Amino acid sequence: MLDLPAIKELCEAVLDGPWESQPHQELAAAGNFFTRWDIITQQKRLVVKGIYGSDDAEFIATARTLVPQLVEALDEAQGQMKQVQKAARDYRLIANTPASRKFADEIDRILKET
């Protein structure tokens, strides 16, 4: 199980987003130029310098926005699962018939698989 509060703390501790990747040219020892990418904030503060791959740089920059969104969505989904589990328990107690018990058992089985 993921430690969502710890992940939220990490997200809150870093520089505000969104971040962006920005290419810049560097001169190699052999005299030719090559491109590296930096990750910067909207306020032009440097976060990471000298990433070699544009895909890697874009992933790091995008993760600053996506990780908090994913944590929020997962937290919400876990809360909804708890509500469904409670509803299944309540249903089993209220509608105490073989069919209702079978239905509640099926809900429990599905929830345990997720």
Q: pLDDT, tens digit, for every residue of 28-37?
A: 777 778 899 9
What dihedral angle (degrees, nearest 10) is formed by the CA atoms of 43, 46, 50, 53?
-40
Comparing 68 with 108, the larger pLDDT belongs to 68
What integer pLDDT is reported at residue 104 of this predicted model?
Answer: 78
CA atoms within 13 A on the CB side of 107: 18
Give the span between the Cα atoms of 102 and 63, in whole angstroms: 43
- The structure's pTM equals 0.74
What integer pLDDT is reported at residue 114 of this predicted model?
Answer: 66
What integer pLDDT is reported at residue 70 of this predicted model?
Answer: 96
If residue 19 lies in a helix (H) or strand (E), which one and from where to where? strand 19-27
b/e sequence 15-28, b meaning 16+ C-beta within 10 Å:
eebebbbeeeeeee
Give the DSSP letter of residue 15: P
